Amino acid sequence: MPTDDRDWVIDAVAGIPGVRATYHLLDPETGNGLSVAIFDDEEAAQVAGAAIGRRAEEIGWNDQPHPRFIAETFYQVLRGQP
């Protein structure tokens, strides 16, 4: 995962109803990263995605090249404890 400052992504979704948790994870040995977000439903995920897109435009994130994610996978939570 890049070492650049991406706290703005987590900040962009803070306070959005239905966003339960957001994490950026890093394997210190390989430098590989993983981002995980937990949403109440697909609508909350879509609202969060739109908020991230708006914030990226506001700060000019898309004006310069940055490493991007390789894949995006969605899972449905079957069991858990908040």
Tell me, what's the pLDDT at 1? 41
**Minimal CA–CA distance to 22: which of 45, 46, 53, 55?**
45
Residue range 18-40: average pLDDT?
89
- The answer, yes or no, to whether residue 69 has pLDDT greater than 80, is no
Instruction: Count other Cβ atoms within 10 Å, centred on residue 48.
Output: 21
- The answer, yes or no, to whether residue 3 has pLDDT greater than 60, is no
Tell me, what's the pLDDT at 4? 58
How confident is the model over 29-39, as pLDDT tens digits?
Answer: 988 888 899 99
**What is the spatial distance between Cα 11 and Cα 4, in angstroms, rounded to a whole number?**
15
Mean pLDDT is lowest, of 4-8, 24-28, 63-67, for 4-8
